[in-house]
A and B are shown apart, each in its own frame.
Chain A
Amino acid sequence: DIVVTQSPLSLPVTPGEPASISCRSGQSLLQSNGYNHLGWYLQKPGQSPQLLIYFGSNRASGVPDRFSGSGSGTDFTLKISRVEAEDVGVYYCMQALQNPITFGQGTRLEIK
C-alpha cells in the first residue's frame, strides 16, 4: 500500500496569515501520463469532504484562488495564501495512483 504522511497534524493560524501543509508519499505518484495522482480535500466541521486540488496542482471548480497545490513525485504542498475563518477544518491529501486509494492522517487547521 502507498502510505501518505501529512505534516503538521495541527496548524493554528492567525487570520490573514499564510498556511502550508505537507504531504509525502511512500512512492512516486507521477503517472506515465505526466499527472500526479494526488488530491487535497477540506472537511469542515460536521460536513463531508470537499475537493480543493486535483492532479497535485489543479484547483477544483469554485475553490478560492488563495488555495494552491504544488509538488511532484513524492512531495506535495497545499498552501493557503491568507487564511480566513471559513478555512477551519481538517485537510486531507489522497493518492489514487494505485489501489488501495489511501488518505493522509489529516491536518487540523484552527484559528488562533
Chain B
Amino acid sequence: EVQLVESGGGLVQPGGSLRLSCAASGFTFSSHWMGWVRQAPGMRLEWVANIVQDGSEKFYVDSMRGRFTISRDNARNLLYLQMNSLRAEDTAVYYCARAHNAVFDIWGRGTMVTVFS
C-alpha cells in the first residue's frame, strides 16, 4: 500500500525549531519529487516546499525561504522539513505529499504544529 506518515509535530514557542519527518512506503521513493503543504486552522491549503528526486534542487514559498529547509534521505525513504524561527502564523497541519503529473497525488494524514507563547 502506498503510504506517507508524518511525525514530529507538537507545541513550540515562538522562535523555536521543529523537524518534521515523513516516512514513505509502497512506492519507489527516490523516483519522485516530494513536497510539504500546510493548512492553518480553517484556512486554505498552502504550499511550503518541493524537492527533486535526488535532493539537488529545492523550491520554497518566499515567506518560508531561509527559515524552513526541505531534505530527503532516499536510502531510508524519509522526507524532512526543518523549521526554524517559528512564528504564531506557522501554526498549521503540515502534510507530506508525493508529486506526480504536476499534482500532489498521495498525501499523508498530516502532523500538527502549534506555535504558542
Nearest CB of chain A from residue B29's CB, rounded to whole Å: 18
Asked if A60 lies at the interface with its beta carbon under 8 angstroms from chain B, I say yes
Q: Give the contacts of B34-57 with A (CB-CB under 8 A).
A: 35, 37, 44-47, 50
Taking a contact as CB atoms closer than 8 A, the residue among B35, B47, B103 that contacts A51 in the complex is B103
Asked if A88 lies at the interface with its beta carbon under 8 angstroms from chain B, I say no
Bound state CA distance, A92 and B44, in angstroms? 8
Bound state CA distance, A48 and B108, in angstroms? 7
Asked if B89 lies at the interface with its beta carbon under 8 angstroms from chain A, I say no
Question: Are the CB atoms of B103 and A39 closer together than 8 Å?
Answer: yes
Question: Are the CB atoms of A100 and B103 closer together than 8 Å?
Answer: no
Bound state CA distance, A104 and B47, in angstroms? 12
Q: Give the contacts of A65-96 with B (CB-CB under 8 A).
A: 92, 94, 96
Asked if B32 lies at the interface with its beta carbon under 8 angstroms from chain A, I say no
Chain B: interface residue total (CB-CB under 8 A): 21
Question: Are the CB atoms of A100 and B102 closer together than 8 Å?
Answer: no
Interface string of A23-43 (1 = CB under 8 A from B): 000000000000101010101
A55: chain B residues within 8 A (beta carbon): 101-102
Taking chain A's interface residues, is the majority helix, strand, or loop, or is none over half, making it mixed? loop
Asked if A102 lies at the interface with its beta carbon under 8 angstroms from chain B, I say yes
A102: chain B residues within 8 A (beta carbon): 47
Q: Give the contacts of B6-48 with A (CB-CB under 8 A).
A: 35, 37, 44-47
Taking a contact as CB atoms closer than 8 A, the residue among A48, A96, A97, A106 that contacts B44 in the complex is A106
Question: Are the CB atoms of B95 and A48 closer together than 8 Å?
Answer: yes
B110: chain A residues within 8 A (beta carbon): 48
Q: Give the contacts of B46-96 with A (CB-CB under 8 A).
A: 46-47, 50, 59, 61-62, 95
Bound state CA distance, A41 and B97, in angstroms? 13
Q: Which residues of B contact A (CB under 8 A)?
A: 35, 37, 44-47, 50, 59, 61-62, 95, 101-110
